Amino acid sequence: METGMNAAAAGATGGVGEEGGVMDYRRLYIGGQWVEPAGAGLIEVLDSTSEEVMGRVPEGGVGDIEAAVAAAKAAFESWSATPVEERAKFLEAIAARLKERQPDIAAIIAREVGMPLSLARSVQAGLPAMVKASYAKIIREFEFEEQQDNFVVAREPIGVVGCITPWNYPLHQVVAKVGPAIAAGCTVVLKPSEVAPLTSFMLAEIIDEVGLPAGVFNLVTGYGAVVGEALAGHPDVDMVSFTGSTRAGRRVSEVAAATVKKVALELGGKSANVILDDADFEKAVASGVGNCYFNSGQTCSALTRMLVPRSRHDEAAAIAARVANGFTVGDPRTGKFKLGPLVSATQRDRVVAYIKKGIAEGATLVAGGPEPPEGLEKGYFVRPTVFANVRNDMTIAREEIFGPVLSIIPYDDEEDAVRLANDTIYGLGGGVWSGDPERARRVARRLRTGQVEVNGGRFNALAPFGGYKQSGNGREFGKYGLEEFLVIKAMLL
């Protein structure tokens, strides 16, 4: 972390200033320069554990989006014609610096979002560097042109891309969009979440250090209703890539429709974890609880609905309760606890309201509850919670909670399990457990969801990620993520 800079110096350079422990950014990154925002407003970033101000960023406005889009548009012709090898070298340079700054990135996100520091190092800081580097390899091997019969199919960069990203994986979700977009030859205007924006400024600093051509990457912070809508509706933006809630995704689509631009959406989820009757229940249930609680449940693809055979429901509930009670809750920076806080007071209150709703609707509370964890007077903490005897029509089984709340739903047979799993407006993630791998795959193929973990299959940054139904459209990661930012041209010979 850069230290020894006061807030005034930070504002002059775009670097991070530390004044009383507060990271102070006063300028936006537009056209290869740190520039004064159109307005004087600042957004405070809160530490999710202490509830104290840990940073400030500019409250950008429509004028800032206009300037950023103009810079991106001016840079597009040159950048889109830049040789693949040169683009790949830039990606590798950015990835190397992200790796160097991994400890600082992890420390910031642990404070912003609440993920325990050890996990933040490997996931929140480690994955972005890996994903960025992966696109250097992908574009070196990708066929941007191919001959067929009497025509050539050319895959060309779509143009200026507006990237709007969430707070739960603040740098990872940024890189999942910015990485493939600039790899494809597009130019970018990034609007990160105002709740956890600080690592986006670190990325801008790195991009400036490596000398990425001016205008290829631009950063504007602010609120979605102002800068997000201005970006999505701008006539010179050729594509919007958005990750966030389904409600916000609908609004982005509405605004973008006026200019008929491409929109890629990665939205909410209410993913089912189908544990079949021949599975190793101890392993499957414990793994499912851990998946649900990862990042304090602040994961769009979290397996929040656990579907178990009715005859083994009580067994599953007992295992889940035991495992949940082993999830210690506390300061994520100490390395002593499995769960940190939620990101904000708003999110904490929302999750607690869902827990109360589950109790009111008759689900059986077997672990956790709405009361704050003992001894944690400050911070946005929620007790890891498990509900049993949940019906699929209950609110806690229908709506995305985004907290450490698991619903256990009994089913009658395999057909019933598939029916229940698919009985949702969402289709982002899923899981299937069986003692027979082929049976697990057969059931996985029947789930209408974009990604399925089979017997606890591990995350892979090259595997396509995205949703069915109201979980969105388009895919991220690997060559599939690259293809989202390309448009096809046919040249008839």
Tell me which residue of 286, 292, 250, 290 sits closest to 267, measured CA to CA: 250
**Angle separating helix axes 437-446 and 414-422, nearest 10 degrees:** 40
- At 270, list the tokens: 């209410």
Catalytic site residue from 163, 186, 292, 300: 300
The reply to whether 266 belongs to the active site is: yes
What is the rounded CA–CA span in Å between residue 243 and residue 90? Answer: 25
Q: How many residues does the chain have?
A: 493
Under DSSP, is residue 475 helix (H, G, I), strand (E, B) or coil?
Answer: coil
Catalytic site residue from 59, 194, 205, 266: 266
From the CA atom positions of the chain, what is the Rg in Å?
Answer: 23
C-alpha distance from residue 151 to each of 21, 148, 312 (Å): 60, 5, 59
* Strand residues in 256-360 grouped as ranges (E): 262-266, 272-275, 305-309
Specify the DSSP element, H or E, that contains 487: strand 486-492
Residue type, 268: G
The reply to whether 453 belongs to the active site is: no
Tell me which residue of 73, 208, 228, 225 sits closest to 163, measured CA to CA: 228
Pairing of β 28-30 and β 33-35: antiparallel
Residue 265, beta-bridge partner list: 242, 473
Contacts of 344 (CB under 8 A, 6+ apart): 46, 48, 195, 380
What is the rounded CA–CA span in Å between residue 246 and residue 118? Answer: 30
What is the rounded CA–CA span in Å between residue 260 and residue 434? Answer: 45
Tell me which residue of 167, 187, 169 sits closest to 178, measured CA to CA: 187
Pairing of β 239-243 and β 217-219: unpaired
What is the rounded CA–CA span in Å between residue 144 and residue 455? Answer: 36
Contacts of 25 (CB under 8 A, 6+ apart): 10, 11, 14, 16, 17, 55, 56, 57, 58, 198, 201, 221
Pairing of β 53-58 and β 145-148: unpaired
Contact assessment for residue 160 and residue 70, using Cβ atoms and an 8 Å cutoff: no
Pairing of β 187-191 and β 217-219: parallel
Contact assessment for residue 464 and residue 443, using Cβ atoms and an 8 Å cutoff: no
- Among all residues, which ones are annotated catalytic? 266, 300
